[in-house]
Amino acid sequence: MTTNTSRLRLLVLEGDGIGPEIMAATLRVLQAAERAFGLKLAFEPAQVGLAALRAQGTTLPDQVVEMAKAADGVVLGPVTTHEYPPRAQGGRNPSGELRKTLDLYANIRPARSRAGFPPRCGKPIDLVIVRENTEGFYADRNMHLGLGEFMPTPDLALSVRKITREGSTRIAEAAFRLAMQRRKKVTAVHKSNVLRVTDGLFLECVRAVAARYPDITYEERIVDAMAALLVRDASAFDVVVTTNMYGDILSDEASEISGSLGLAASLNAGSAHAVAQAQHGSAPDIAGKNIANPAALIGSAAMLLAWLGDRRKDNELTRAAAAIEAALDTAIAQPEWRTPDLGGSLGTDAFGEKVAAILSTSP
Ligand code: ATP
């Protein structure tokens, strides 16, 4: 039984596109985990995205930000930010703003191949990209006030990339801590041959942290070479630490190599808050058709339970997270239980039911 008597409050934000469908499947799985492991979860739904814009005039109501601060964790569906109006007309990026407001500095993005579904590089993959999540090239959120992107004249556009000692050090620490629980290898990815000052500072910070972890094998790779090395043999990597935009791009690549973007779970974590969010976007091209793969959001929710289990020293949460991951593996291993992105024909809801059914027989 769980050691904490109060219910864990999980804020549930469906988001846009395939969000409602994959969230429904995810909640089904979380409810099955709740029953199987005696968890006490309280789901608090709220609207963000285009539905919130229609109903409340903004894609991210202030009240939702307050709910996220008060919750024990957040499960966030994908958001179609490129369809949002300018900020003055209510367009706010729920994903970016929650990362900034809750100081979710570490975006943990695993890429793992699954039994029965061959990875595209020919060898089994099990790596985690630890992506800095609050600064770098993300001009819509990397400044205290205002934007890191501007146009001094109609024909000149500039972006400012922000790298700080604090941001680089804390993401490096997150990567090395994670590597200690894994295969004890960290690869730092950078472009310091060109961005000598900013990636130079990033590398200086990572090297300082590496010096405190003599048991960990540490190496560095330039980002363009890393893109090629992942295709050649992604099995060579364990924990990869990098800045915001390199991490975003490389993690999509790594998860596609591991099988499909539809399998790519991720957690945005800080020292006080965490938001589960799939790596992929809102896939408007397949929205409403019941064909999206919910595995990435289900896996992200499992990562949130694992994060909560670790913080609260709650074994049942930790076990539930591992069981959800194992149930995903079991389902994906069966060709007839796969969704169309993996070559199968199972619907989003049926896949969720399958994973929930496997969980309900967990030992
Ligand atoms: P957004 O604008 O929200 O980023 P997008 O379509 O540009 O959306 P993704 O949502 O990441 O970007 O989708 C890229 C491709 O991968 C699309 O063809 C989409 O249908 C597919 N895809 C993404 N997520 C899934 C999923 N969960 N299941 C199946 N296919 C997916």
pLDDT in tens, 233-276: 999 999 999 999 999 999 999 999 998 888 999 999 999 999 99
Residue 255: its pLDDT value, please? 92
Residue 16: its pLDDT value, please? 98
Residue 3: its pLDDT value, please? 44
For residue 4, is pLDDT > 80?
no
Give the residue whose CA is nearest to atom 9 of ligand 1. Answer: 281
Three-state SS sequence of 49-110: CHHHHHHHCCCCCHHHHHHHHHCCEEEECCCCHHHCCCHHHCCCCHHHHHHHHCCCCEEEEE
Residue 5: its pLDDT value, please? 56
Residue 363: its pLDDT value, please? 66
pLDDT tens digits, residue range 39-98? 999 999 999 999 999 999 999 999 999 999 999 999 999 999 999 999 999 999 999 999
Give the chain's end-to-end CA distance (angstroms, integer). Answer: 14
User: Ligand 1: which atom is nearest the Cα of residue 283?
Assistant: 10
Distance CA 70, CA 61 (A): 15
Distance CA 321, CA 33 (A): 8
Q: Is 40 a catalytic residue?
A: no
Q: Which residues are CB-neighbours of 54 under 8 A, at least 6 positions away?
A: none
> Helix %, strand %, coil % for the chain, to 5?
45, 20, 35
Among the listed residues 191, 199, 218, 238, the single catalytic one is 191
pLDDT tens digits, residue range 89-141? 999 999 999 999 999 999 999 999 988 777 888 899 999 999 999 999 999 88
Q: How far is the CA of 296 from the centre of ligand 1 (A)?
A: 11
Residue 6: its pLDDT value, please? 80
Between the alpha carbon of residue 115 and those of residues 147, 300, 311, 330, the distances in Å are: 44, 19, 30, 8
For residue 293, is pLDDT > 60?
yes
Q: How far is the CA of 282 from the centre of ligand 1 (A)?
A: 6
Residue 338: its pLDDT value, please? 93
Which of 79, 80, 253, 261 should be mutated for ligand 1, with most atoms under 8 A from CB? 261
pTM, rounded to two decimals: 0.93
Residue in the block written with tokens 């490389």: 250
Residue 2: its pLDDT value, please? 42
Distance CA 194, CA 10 (A): 43
Residues in the chain, total = 363
What phi and psi values does residue 361 have, to the nearest 5 degrees? -105, 10
Q: How far is the CA of 91 from the centre of ligand 1 (A)?
A: 21
pLDDT tens digits, residue range 192-236? 999 999 999 999 999 999 999 999 999 999 999 999 999 999 999
Which of 14, 23, 260, 280 should be mutated for ligand 1, with most atoms under 8 A from CB? 280
* Sign of the dihedral through C-alpha 180, 185, 187, 188: positive
pLDDT tens digits, residue range 299-341? 999 999 999 999 999 999 999 999 999 999 999 999 999 999 9
Among the listed residues 72, 199, 248, 341, the single catalytic one is 248
Burial of 330 (0-12, 13-18, 19+ CB in 10 A): middle
Q: Is 248 a catalytic residue?
A: yes
Report, as an integer, the average pLDDT of 158-164. 96
Residue 299: its pLDDT value, please? 98
Distance CA 32, CA 26 (A): 10
Write out residues with Cβ below 6 Å of ligand 1: 17-18, 78, 80, 82, 261-262, 280-286, 292-293, 296, 341
